[in-house]
Structures are given as structure tokens and as C-alpha cells.
A = this chain, B = another copy of it.
Amino acid sequence: MPPNTVVDIPDFADIHLARARINDWTRLTPVLSDPGLDRELGCFVYCKCENLQRTGSFKFRGASNAISRLSEDGVEGDVATHSSGNHGAALALAAKLDGRKAHVVMPENSVVMKIAAVRRYGGIVHFCAPTQQSREDELAKLVEDGKIPVPPYDHADIIAGQGTAALELIQEVSTLEQVITPVGGGGLISGTAIAVGSTGQQVYGVEPEGAADTVASLEQGERVKSWTPDTIADGLRAIIGERNFTVIRNQVRQVFTVSDEDIRRAMYLFWQELRMVIEPSSATVVAAIRNHPEVFAGKKVGAIISGGNIDPGNWQSLTKRN
């Protein structure tokens, strides 16, 4: 295969290459653990704090990798995507660092702070109705107009970039037995599964009950293509991608679901024990570990804390005291 050909699904080597490629742009995020959190969850949890990644989420890894690949391949021009927020902000900053503009299609009901972030990093926001179809239609117009599409999760370079968080985590904590990540479109979990596939950790995923299209897809044996999401975890409302579903089906041990109530309590717990405000999507992993002692009790668990992009003014309304 010639160099720089985009393969459909990346392998372990692609994640190492991505890690080297994005090294100067991304932050080596801290891995934090806490005895109080461990006591609450009944296991040893190592939190990879992507809430402290640049742009406030792991999405900056995939966006940086995708944009860097464009440059390596000599592809010039502005980029475009659709995103409820985190991928949009990430792409805006990655594009800016590479001297490009990013056009971001966002649902009208996006979190205000996420819209502001896209703009602050130099992105141009295009609003659309809050449906998958509307997002795709609006993006298609931008692509017709010559912008280069950079999809949020169903893309080899994005998956490879997102896998670098887990790569860093297992390099820092080599004794991990399990890794768990949230599941939205599936970029993070598929990258994670590929990153740890050769080192033996079991990989788990978690979805909100109100956006459990991946669990439904696994049950049906094929990808569910329509789902009307109803959850406070705004980062996980997407439908699982095709490449992503393929990886999950082959390499992920189980995908759990958690309720919005579980998520609220997990957000509160995380603040209480670790003094970090995280977004609802991130709290799903804490909730799943708490709900499933039959899987996690006594284990060394790597938890990818995916992002921290909420308005802290909304924290109280999003959390519930335990």
C-alpha cells in the first residue's frame, strides 16, 4: 500500500504514528486517581483527564491527526464538519494551527458555551435543525462549495487520533486490566480498542439509556441507523459510525447503559472526590463502573474522562447529590 493512503480502519501502528504526529499540538493529559473515588467505586480507577485536553475534550486528538494528514498529503483548503460542539471546537483549533479555516455545522440547540468555543478558536458556525439529516444536508452544501469534509468519528484518521489517549494511558499505567470509555459516534471507543488490543486489557463502553443505539445495534447484529436521542449527555447523541461499529463488534467486550440519574450522581461524585467539573458524557464511565461491581470490583480500571465542556453555571442543574 502506498504511504499516506487512508485505510478504512486503522491498526495499532497507525495509532503510534498519530501519537507522534500530534505530539506538538496536544497536551499529555494527566492520569489521576483518588482513594476516595476508589472506595466509592470498589476498584482502582485511573482517570485519563481528557477534560483537560486542549479545547476541553479528546476530540482535539482526532482533529489534529486528520488535519496533519491533510498537510502531509499536500491537500490545501478549508475544512468542514458537523458537530454538537466538541469536534467542532477541536477542528476549529486544529485548522487554525495549520493555517486553515473550519466551517462547523451545529444544531440550533447546541450548548451555548460549545458554540462560543468554536468561534473563539476561529471556526465559522452554520446552524441547522437538530436532526441527523439536517446536519448532513448542511454539510453536503459546504462540501459542494469546495470545503474538505472532516467527519467527527467515522474516519480512519479520526479513530487513530482518538486512540492516542488510551495509548498514553496504558504507557503510563502498564498494569491496567480494563479500560472503559463513553460511546457516542464511536470514535473514542474504537480508537481505544485498537490501541489496547495488543496489550491485553479488556475494553468496555457505556452509553446513556436515551442514546443506546450501539447496544441496540449489537443486539440486532447490524447498525441501527435512526434513533431520537433523549439524554443530558449532549456529546453522546450521535449514531454509531460504520467503521466504529465494526471495531466495537470485534474488540469490545461489552457496552453498558446508564440512566441520566446515574450520570447526574456520577458528575457530583467526580467533583466531590477529584474537584473536577466534567461534562455528562464523561460521567457515564464513572456511573457504569459504579453500577457493575460484577465486572470491575477489585480491578485496575482505566477510565477515559472524555471532556469538560459545560457551562459551570449549569453544573448544579446537571448534577445530583449522592
Cross-interface CB contact of A316 among B275, B308, B312, B319, cutoff 8 Å = B312
Instruction: Identify which of residues 260-318 in chain A touch chain B, using a CB-to-CB cut-off of 8 Å.
Output: 271-272, 274-277, 308-309, 312-313, 315-316
Chosen A-B contacts, 28 in total, with CB atoms closer than 8 Å, are: A27-B32, A27-B34, A30-B30, A30-B32, A30-B52, A32-B52, A34-B54, A51-B275, A52-B274, A52-B275, A52-B276, A56-B275, A120-B272, A271-B312, A275-B277, A275-B308, A275-B309, A276-B276, A276-B277, A277-B277, A277-B312, A312-B312, A312-B315, A312-B316, A312-B319, A313-B315, A313-B316, A315-B315
User: Which partner residue on chain B sits nearest A267 by CB separation?
Assistant: B312
Q: Name the prevailing secondary structure of the A interface residues.
A: helix
Q: Report chain B residues within 8 Å CB of A277.
A: 275-277, 312
Interface size band for A: 20 to 34
CB distance from A52 to the nearest CB of B (A): 6
Q: Report chain B residues within 8 Å CB of A276.
A: 52, 276-277
A276 to B278, CA, bound (A): 9
A16 to B56, CA, bound (A): 35
User: Which partner residue on chain B sits nearest A315 by CB separation?
Assistant: B312
Given contacts A277-B312, A312-B316, 11 further A-B contacts (CB under 8 A): A27-B32, A27-B34, A30-B32, A52-B276, A271-B312, A275-B277, A275-B308, A276-B276, A276-B277, A312-B315, A313-B315
User: Which partner residue on chain B sits nearest A271 by CB separation?
Assistant: B312
CB distance from A111 to the nearest CB of B (A): 14
A316 to B30, CA, bound (A): 26
Q: Report chain B residues within 8 Å CB of A34.
A: 27, 54
CB distance from A59 to the nearest CB of B (A): 13
A171 to B154, CA, bound (A): 42
